[in-house]
């Protein structure tokens, strides 16, 4: 199905890109000292939710406004979460995942089983299975064509990549052991390449070894389970994450657990791991149809699982989840090189089979426990002014020839007041977590075949951010770049 819908992956970046300026500033600029002065302003009890005068319950807001050109219309039918209680400004910095944290997570996720160092060397049986599956897939032209989505160049690239992997495995087969060499966990971080002795990662060893790593494994009901913890603190970028997964553990039949049961189980596990500050953001029930001809055993079978996302809370206020940073390009003084903090979990067969924790932060100071923020009415006025200037058809939709848009609609479905991480100007080491008004929804485009929305393209659609407004000084926050 081709409707020419190249729906925007990072709408905030496009909506905050350069457009003709109105006669007066639409938002407060990121001028040096403006934000710092605003942070010092403490909210009154009424403004901070300290009395019944403050709006703290969720409510619905509807409306319609025009974009920056006649093709664009903006529909607002949103649940509004105005937050509850004081809104803080917290100064934070990246931090490593400690050995104590890694060990506690490992003991919980491996369910008390004996924990071993990751060996990485495949047994003969494992290589036989891989070689057989890849040979079968390479002989299946229909599967290759489907994987390449009908593109001959992509199909050839897939074929060459698979043939290269196959050659490596065939060369390893003669010396492969019959059983894995098990060594109990040493509980120490090592250079990255220490765990890649039997992989095809051979280039950039010195660069990779700036990342310290601990990779462990255990057996869970006959399946291999892994934990990979990485810490990198260098001037070019920082990386701190923890990833856990169980091989081939997706349930191939409909799930027995309810979403509520799965969420409760995960919450209990997170508490045991020492990750109490995380709040459930979403829980989706996922079904992925298998392809028996797939070269990857995981994708060959049907998969049923819950996909849960979590958001951290600071001073009792959640951080609003955003799409991950696009890179380090942008205004030099605000350049970001550290991913947004996030936690993702997958549950299948009654247990956690995947967990990833990225970019932990340490609190350096609470700059203001109850800062003065824009009211909902003020935030809506900012939103309307910004859309009137920047919501153009060209900024929202990249049209293919013959699929020019006849109409574009922005649907705002969620408006919330919460925290967002922003770069501190001229400070590469620290960030503010500060209050923002965040506007989420989806994009619809009509190219002559009717209006198609993001939710029409995927049953697992989640709203994405259109605009984020700094609730302290009224400026626009470009969450795709982190400032």
Long-range contacts: 133-140, Cβ < 8 Å, 24+? 133/295, 133/297, 134/162, 134/165, 134/166, 134/169, 134/295, 135/166, 136/293, 136/295, 137/162, 137/293, 137/294, 137/295, 138/162, 138/163, 138/166, 138/295, 140/293
* The pair of three-digit structure tokens given for residue 109, joined into one six-digit string: 């996720």
What pLDDT sits at residue 25? 34
130 and 148: one domain?
Answer: yes
Hey, is 240 helix, strand or coil? Answer: strand
Distance from C-alpha of 316 to C-alpha of 224, rounded to nearest angstrom: 37
Among 363, 384, 411, the domain-final residue is 363
Distance from C-alpha of 479 to C-alpha of 483, rounded to nearest angstrom: 6
Distance from C-alpha of 356 to C-alpha of 81, rounded to nearest angstrom: 27
- Decide if 37 is inside a domain: yes
Buried b (16+ CB within 10 A) or exposed e, 119-144: bebbeeeebeebbebbeebbebeebb
Distance from C-alpha of 282 to C-alpha of 377, rounded to nearest angstrom: 27
Strands (DSSP E) along 106-237, which ranges? 116-117, 190-191, 212-220, 223-233
Could you tell me the residue range of the domain that residue 229 belongs to? 97-118+181-363
The β-bridge relationship of strands 223-233 and 278-288 is unpaired
Long-range contacts: 271-276, Cβ < 8 Å, 24+? 272/108, 273/104, 273/105, 273/108, 273/109, 274/101, 274/104, 274/105, 275/343, 275/357
Hey, is 189 helix, strand or coil? Answer: coil
CB atoms within 10 A of CB 9: 11
- Decide if 1 is inside a domain: no
**Environment class of residue 214 by beta-carbon count within 10 Å: exposed (0-12), middle (13-18) or buried (19+)?**
buried
What pLDDT sits at residue 17? 37
Distance from C-alpha of 210 to C-alpha of 193, rounded to nearest angstrom: 10
Distance from C-alpha of 177 to C-alpha of 187, rounded to nearest angstrom: 25
Q: Which pTM was predicted? A: 0.82
What pLDDT sits at residue 473? 93
109 and 258: one domain?
Answer: yes
- Decide if 451 is inside a domain: yes
* The pair of three-digit structure tokens given for residue 200, joined into one six-digit string: 């095809």
Of 475, 375, 477, 336, which Cα lies nearest the Cα of 35? 475
135 and 65: one domain?
Answer: no
334 and 369: one domain?
Answer: no
- Decide if 298 is inside a domain: yes
381 and 416: one domain?
Answer: yes
Per-position pLDDT tens, the chain of length 483: 333 333 333 333 343 333 333 333 333 345 566 788 888 878 766 555 433 345 678 999 999 999 888 999 999 999 999 998 899 999 999 999 999 999 999 999 999 999 999 987 788 888 898 888 889 888 889 888 988 888 999 999 999 988 988 888 888 888 888 887 789 999 999 998 888 876 655 555 677 888 999 999 999 999 999 999 999 988 777 889 999 999 989 999 999 999 999 999 999 999 999 999 999 999 999 998 888 877 777 778 899 999 999 999 999 999 999 887 755 443 344 445 788 999 999 999 999 999 999 999 999 999 999 999 999 999 999 999 999 998 888 888 877 777 788 898 999 999 999 999 998 888 888 999 999 999 999 988 888 888 888 888 777 778 889 999 999 999 999 887 777
199 and 300: one domain?
Answer: yes
DSSP string covering 253-318:
S--SS-HHHHHHHHHHHHHHHT-TTEEEEEEEEEEE---TT-SSHHHHS-EEEEEEEEEEEETTEE
282 and 270: one domain?
Answer: yes
- The runs of H, that is alpha helices, within 139-175 are 141-147, 152-173
Among 363, 392, 411, the domain-final residue is 363
Q: Are 383 and 469 in contact (CB under 8 A)?
A: yes
- Decide if 376 is inside a domain: yes
Among 363, 398, 415, the domain-final residue is 363
* The pair of three-digit structure tokens given for residue 2, joined into one six-digit string: 């081709």
150 and 236: one domain?
Answer: no
Q: Are 109 and 225 in contact (CB under 8 A)?
A: yes
**Residue 445, beta-bridge partner list:** 408, 452
327 and 280: one domain?
Answer: yes
Q: Are 444 and 451 in contact (CB under 8 A)?
A: yes
What pLDDT sits at residue 31? 55
Domains identified in the chain, total number: 3
The β-bridge relationship of strands 342-348 and 72-81 is unpaired
Q: Are 213 and 190 in contact (CB under 8 A)?
A: yes
Listed in sequence order, the residues at least 6 apart from 212 whose beta carbon sits closer than 8 Å to its beta carbon are: 189, 190, 191, 192, 230, 231, 232
For residue 125, the number of C-alpha atoms closer than 13 Å in the C-beta half-sphere is: 3
Q: Are 467 and 32 in contact (CB under 8 A)?
A: no
What pLDDT sits at residue 458? 77
What pLDDT sits at residue 284? 94
238 and 257: one domain?
Answer: yes
- Decide if 26 is inside a domain: yes
Long-range contacts: 324-333, Cβ < 8 Å, 24+? 325/480, 325/481, 325/482, 326/10, 326/13, 326/480, 326/481, 327/481, 328/237, 329/481, 330/478, 330/481, 330/482, 330/483, 331/481, 331/483, 333/425, 333/426
* Cα 396 versus chain centre, distance: 22
Q: Nearest 5°: phi and psi at 361? A: -125, 150
405 and 271: one domain?
Answer: no
429 and 466: one domain?
Answer: yes
């Amino acid at each position: 199905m081709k409707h020419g819908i190249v729906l925007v992956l990072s709408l905030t970046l496009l909506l905050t890109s350069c457009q003709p300026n109105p006669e007066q500033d639409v938002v407060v600029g990121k001028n040096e000292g403006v934000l710092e002065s605003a942070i010092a302003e403490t909210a009154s009890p009424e403004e901070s939710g300290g009395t019944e005068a403050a709006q703290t319950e969720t409510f619905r807001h509807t409306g319609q406004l025009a974009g920056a050109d006649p093709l664009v219309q903006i529909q607002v039918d949103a649940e509004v979460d105005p937050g509850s209680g004081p809104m803080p400004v917290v100064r934070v910095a990246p931090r490593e995942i400690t050995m104590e944290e890694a060990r506690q997570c490992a003991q919980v996720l491996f369910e008390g089983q004996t924990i071993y160092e990751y060996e990485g060397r495949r047994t003969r049986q494992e290589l036989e299975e891989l070689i057989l599956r890849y040979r079968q897939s390479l002989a299946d032209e229909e599967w290759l064509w489907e994987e390449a989505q009908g593109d001959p160049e992509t199909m050839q690239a897939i074929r060459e990549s698979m043939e290269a992997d196959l050659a490596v495995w065939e060369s390893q087969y003669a010396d492969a052991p019959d059983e894995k060499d098990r060594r109990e966990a040493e509980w120490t971080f090592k250079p990255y390449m220490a765990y890649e002795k039997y992989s095809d990662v051979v280039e950039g060893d010195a660069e990779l070894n700036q990342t310290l790593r601990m990779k462990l494994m255990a057996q869970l009901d006959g399946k291999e389970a892994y934990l990979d913890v990485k810490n990198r603190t260098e001037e070019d970028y920082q990386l701190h994450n923890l990833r856990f997964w169980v091989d081939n553990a997706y349930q191939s039949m409909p799930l027995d657990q309810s979403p509520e049961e799965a969420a409760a189980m995960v919450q209990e596990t997170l508490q045991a791991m020492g990750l109490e500050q995380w709040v459930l953001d979403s829980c989706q029930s996922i079904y992925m149809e298998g392809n028996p001809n797939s070269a990857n055993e995981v994708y060959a079978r049907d998969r049923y699982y819950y996909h849960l996302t979590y958001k951290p809370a600071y001073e009792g206020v959640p951080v609003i989840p955003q799409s991950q940073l696009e890179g380090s390009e942008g205004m030099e003084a605000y350049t970001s090189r550290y991913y947004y903090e996030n936690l993702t979990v997958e549950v299948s067969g009654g247990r956690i089979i995947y967990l990833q924790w990225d970019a932990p932060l340490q609190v350096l100071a609470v700059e203001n426990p109850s800062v003065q923020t824009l009211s909902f009415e003020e935030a809506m006025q900012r939103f309307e002014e910004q859309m009137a200037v920047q919501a153009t058809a060209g900024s929202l939709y990249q049209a293919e020839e013959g699929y020019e848009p006849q109409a574009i609609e922005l649907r705002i479905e969620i408006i919330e007041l919460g925290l967002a991480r922003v770069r501190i100007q001229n400070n590469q080491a620290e960030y503010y977590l500060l209050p923002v008004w965040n506007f989420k929804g989806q994009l619809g485009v009509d190219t002559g075949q009717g209006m198609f929305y993001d939710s029409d393209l995927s049953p697992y659609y989640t709203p994405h951010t259109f605009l984020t407004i700094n609730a302290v000084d009224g400026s626009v926050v470009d969450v795709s770049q982190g400032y």
